Structure 1
Amino acid sequence: MLRDNPDAVGVHIYGTNVDRDAAALAACDVAEVEPRHVSDDEYSAFALDFCRRHRIDVLVPPRRLTALAGLGAEFAAVGTRLMCSPLAAIEVLTSKTRTYEAALAAGVPVPPWRSVRDAAEFRAAVAELSAAGEKVCIKPAGEYSAFGFRVLDDGPLRIRDLLAPPVPQASVAAVADAFERAVDEGDPVPEFLVMPYLDGPEISVDCLSAPGGHPLAAIARSKAGRYRLLLDDPEVTAIARRLVEHFGLAYLSNVQLRHLEGRPVLLEANPRASAGIFQTAFTGVNLPWAAVRLLLRGETGPLAEPRLGARIAVTESATQVDAPPPALTSVDGGLAAVPTTVPAAAAIPPPFLEEAAAG
């Protein structure tokens, strides 16, 4: 979407990942390995040096946001625009507990939840939330993507269960034992959330907003297996826009919802582009490029009315990646901006940048 942009601007993509064999790097023109398990200060120093050495024009980080947010002036000093929401919003949204508390204050519907850190709190939360006979689930309160999510089920295993697709499931006893074992072995226990299991399609809303949280576009899609439905649902996009405004999110963000008793409720909000933002291309709106243009020029250019209602399939493709990632070389220009699993960069020709500076 960055390369096939409506301004016909040539874009050169740089990407970094902690794993030099990450398949996503095959989509980049230039790739580099980034440091693993380092502090925020060390990571920001790496990012600043990377942008300085390679004259990156725009940096769009999909992770380590707390390490980079608030450093706009430092990146500007090396010639790089940082596409990032305010640090205060990021610090709230990296905790689902703080997110739910803030969302409630903003009038956004959220599911009932309980925060737990040990076996006793976990068992009490399960007993309370499952009293109505509903399924209950558990997930980490921090940023773990889908890792750690489990549906809690103490029912007996049946043959039909063994023949069905696998599901992330665990018994209450097994999870409680895991909490107790962590205490016995001195392992750290992060905060977890226990909440009702919300069945039905998950809804993901990709948002574009100006600094300060002014919403410019919100495109919703529901997920059902390999299929996505591009939704025309003003109720869910209104919730997403309200969250963007409340947290003052800038450029690209993502809001996820499910339904509880027929009404949409918040699952989580991410102050970054979603990994599935490429699916919004089928609406005719290029959100990633609009965000880049907004950062560089202060305006998005014309945004088409999104074509909604289409059903699309997410399919796999094979890409040969047996050669090592291309070595980094110094090139003129650079735009760090790939909203996938890798931070990245791309070269924007000087006329575009000079016009942006003049504007």
Structure 2
Amino acid sequence: MDVRIWFNRIWPARVHLIPMLRDNPDHARVQVYGTHPDPAAPALTACDVVEPEPGEDEAFFDFAIDFCQRHDIDVIMPSSRLVALADRAEAFSAVDTRVMCAPAETLRAVTDKSRMYAAAERSRVPVAPWRAVSDADGLRKAVQEFAGTDSALCVKPAGEYSAYGFRLLDDSPLKVSDFERLPRPTASVSAVADALQHAQDRGETVPELIVMPYLDPPEVSVDCLSDTAGTLVSAIARAKSGRVRTLVDDPDVMELARLAVGHFRLAYLSNVQFRYWKGQPVLLEVNARAAAGIYQTRMTGVNLVWAAVRMLLCGDPGEVPRPMLGGRLAVVEDAIPLSDTVIPDSRARERTPPPSPVGAPEANRTLSP
């Protein structure tokens, strides 16, 4: 059968998922649709059909429903606007499109780090000490509270900003030897406090920040596949060290990932990250979507990405083999040729009728060719 999959605001890293979707164990024919506000976005060149998408939320959802209807999209694999898409999941279901995401309440809980850490503390998932601050006085107080921990401190936005807002708090002066190594994302306590105070004085909205100890490496990123109840089906842990990734078999980390996925009721593809505090793994971050590096898991012989698509459409992931762990790999840059982006005719396209009748239960759909 044909499966039509749409990546909205497609990231460059999503290019690596496309071969995993096409080379699937069910031998389904996959057609990939990509949209982005920038019609010259490089990732679009890997898609079968591309269109520009509106940048504004108000215009996007009218566009999205129309896009799904015109192209008979089976699955949306969101790259952005996850919460808003989850809020409108029923509207997409009405046009026979499934959105691969957890419930909206789950997404709201995990995209706010202060809410996420507080929720984790109510479970059995360990969390390092942390403080939420939103003004200069709060920042200085938090730094003073952590003064006796003998650990470097860091600050990061509580919202979903990837790693862009992360800074190590470092008041030491610049040294000549610093020019002989790669720069680190550092800021002094006074610089961060001044930024918060200036924003407050100008009446700007000040985002909540998290202050916490800088946790010990390695960072272990666990790519998870789970059902809609948060029951873990498969998980693969990647320990990061520079450009090297080790596909680790760590029962303690896997158990914590299982607890986190169940506690937050994560669904389909998610990613749970850990680092170490006083020698023990602690929760760093929860992403209710596929991580940028999930393509690395294909080295284990497991196609988590396709298993999630099958679970969404059919109600089960198919046969998911036990991952082959212990391997090491290097993450390197690659280059892909760019062609002129061709924007297709926006008129409706004809499509071969689906193999199952309209209105048939999703669990009865088949992915047999």
| 2:364 equivalent in structure 1 | 358
Q: Alignment length, in residue pairs?
A: 343
1:23 CA drift (Å) = 1.8
| 2:112 equivalent in structure 1 | 95
| 1:47 equivalent in structure 2 | 64
| 2:277 equivalent in structure 1 | 260
1:247 CA drift (Å) = 1.6
Structure 1 pair 331–258 and aligned structure 2 pair: CA distance change class (3 A):
farther
Q: Aligned Cα RMSD in Å?
A: 2.0
| 1:343 equivalent in structure 2 | none
Which residue of 91, 114, 117 maps to 1:74?
Answer: 91
| 1:58 equivalent in structure 2 | 75
Contact 1:204 1:256 (C-alpha < 8 Å) held by counterparts = yes
Separation in 2, partners of 1:150, 1:353: 54
| 2:236 equivalent in structure 1 | 219
Which residue of 113, 121, 141 maps to 2:138?
Answer: 121
What is the identity, as a one-letter code, of the residue corresponding to 1:265? V
| 1:344 equivalent in structure 2 | none
Structure 1 pair 327–166 and aligned structure 2 pair: CA distance change class (3 A):
farther
Contact 1:111 1:265 (C-alpha < 8 Å) held by counterparts = yes
What is the identity, as a one-letter code, of the residue corresponding to 2:292? A
Contact 1:31 1:326 (C-alpha < 8 Å) held by counterparts = yes
Task: Indicate yes or no: 2:259 matched with 1:242.
Answer: yes
Q: Which residues of structure 1 form unaligned runs of 5+?
A: 334-347
SS in 1 for 2:216: coil
Contact 1:14 1:30 (C-alpha < 8 Å) held by counterparts = yes
Separation in 2, partners of 1:93, 1:316: 30
- 1:42-100 per-position Cα deviation (integer Å, ceiling 9, x unaligned): 43333222111211011121321111114332112112122211111111111000001
Once the two structures are overlaid, the 10-residue window that deviates more, 64-73 or 159-168, is 64-73
Which residue of 19, 26, 30 maps to 1:7?
Answer: 26
SS in 1 for 2:160: coil
1:142 CA drift (Å) = 0.3
Structure 1 pair 13–352 and aligned structure 2 pair: CA distance change class (3 A):
farther
| 1:290 equivalent in structure 2 | 307
1:264 CA drift (Å) = 0.6
Separation in 2, partners of 1:291, 1:353: 22
Separation in 1, partners of 2:353, 2:326: 36
User: Could you tell me the percent identity over the aligned residues?
Assistant: 53
Separation in 1, partners of 2:120, 2:233: 20
| 2:185 equivalent in structure 1 | 168
Which residue of 124, 133, 136 maps to 1:107?
Answer: 124
1:223 CA drift (Å) = 1.2
Contact 2:70 2:349 (C-alpha < 8 Å) held by counterparts = no
SS in 2 for 1:20: coil
Structure 1 pair 353–163 and aligned structure 2 pair: CA distance change class (3 A):
farther
What is the identity, as a one-letter code, of the residue corresponding to 2:364? A
TM-score of the two chains, using structure 2 as the length reference: 0.88
